[in-house]
Amino acid sequence: MSKETDQALLEEYLDYLLLERRLSKATIEVYARQVGFFFAGITEAIETIQPSAIEHYLVVLAKQRGNTERTVARNLSALRSFFVYLQKQKIREDNPLEQLSAARRPSDAPTYFTVEEVDLLLESIGTDTLLGKRDRTIFELIYSCGLRISEACDLKVGDYTKGNLRVLGKRNKMRLVPVGEVASTALGLYLAEVRPALVKARATEQTLFVGRRGKKLTRQAVFKRFGQYAKPLGLEGKVHTLRHSFATHLLAGGADLRSVQALLGHSDIQTTQIYTHIETSGLKRSYDVYHTLDEEQT
């Protein structure tokens, strides 16, 4: 493709993000800059570029002065979303980023999102509707507290008090998990404005998260809503990936294994140890204070 064609394709992609994905202008500006840099940094045609060429671009990007792992992760997320769009438009039959991700991931590694990818996912959820606000809240909470999807769906209104969440896990084990500031704010808004509007006349309904008819939100509905947000961004993973990400980011930030075990509700610490195979030295540099927890909280 010529540079003029590249520019036209980029503009069409940005229109798609604005009109169909309804991403914020700030997010679209970031994508425009990152995909624009990609166009400028490659010589291959978009229709035929191979994973090796994209990996070379990312390596060069990582070596450039001032670029952190966070910057590279942000670019990778933008490119993944861009190639998903190309598939939708039938400009490409495959997504070379999928091949690249598969090659880099150990076979026994739990799938997780980078901090940047979690931010991207959550920010992409429009909050101009009741269901959008609800979805943003439930996924914020799953990530903030490392919840299983069944645990999130089974929560009662009374399980949240003063920044802490009472969670009923496997084998009916109860645990108390601190809720991060961002998730607490979203949950407060949900309880004050969104849930009452959804529940309406169902005053006896005690389930925390409800559907449009005021009944308990099902696991299947949460799976479906998650896919609607993650797939257009090119993010591989399921709702449970947010739980994996929670554990991975905590360990990367220096949390001890026993604390993470307690937060996840694992009865056996060997189950928690699966996350320790990840190279934390690299993750530490991209770790955000979003999940900073001291020992007193855990």
243 is catalytic: yes
AA letter at 72: V
Is residue 266 flagged as an active site residue? Answer: yes
Active site residue: 105, 170, 173, 212, which one?
Answer: 170
CA atoms within 13 A on the CB side of 213: 4
195 counts as catalytic: no
- Dist CA 233 CA 53 (whole Å): 21
**Which of these is catalytic: 243, 244, 249, 291?**
243
291 is catalytic: no
Distance CA 236, CA 233 (A): 9
- Residue 171 annotated to the active site: no
Give the separation between CA 83 and CA 233, rounded to whole angstroms.
Answer: 9
For residue 246, give the amino acid letter.
Answer: F
130-145 helix and 115-123 helix, angle to the nearest 10 degrees: 160
Catalytic hit among 85, 112, 143, 275: 275
Residue 178, phi then psi, degrees to nearest 5: -70, 145
- Give yes or no: 275 in active site: yes
User: CA 189, CA 184: separation in Å to the nearest integer?
Assistant: 9
Cα-to-chain-centroid distance, residue 70:
14
Measured CA to CA, the distance from residue 48 to residue 46 in angstroms comes to 6
Query: Which residue among 31, 266, 287, 291 is the active-site one?
Result: 266
The catalytically annotated residue of 148, 195, 244, 249 is: 148
Please identify every residue annotated as catalytic.
148, 170, 240, 243, 266, 275
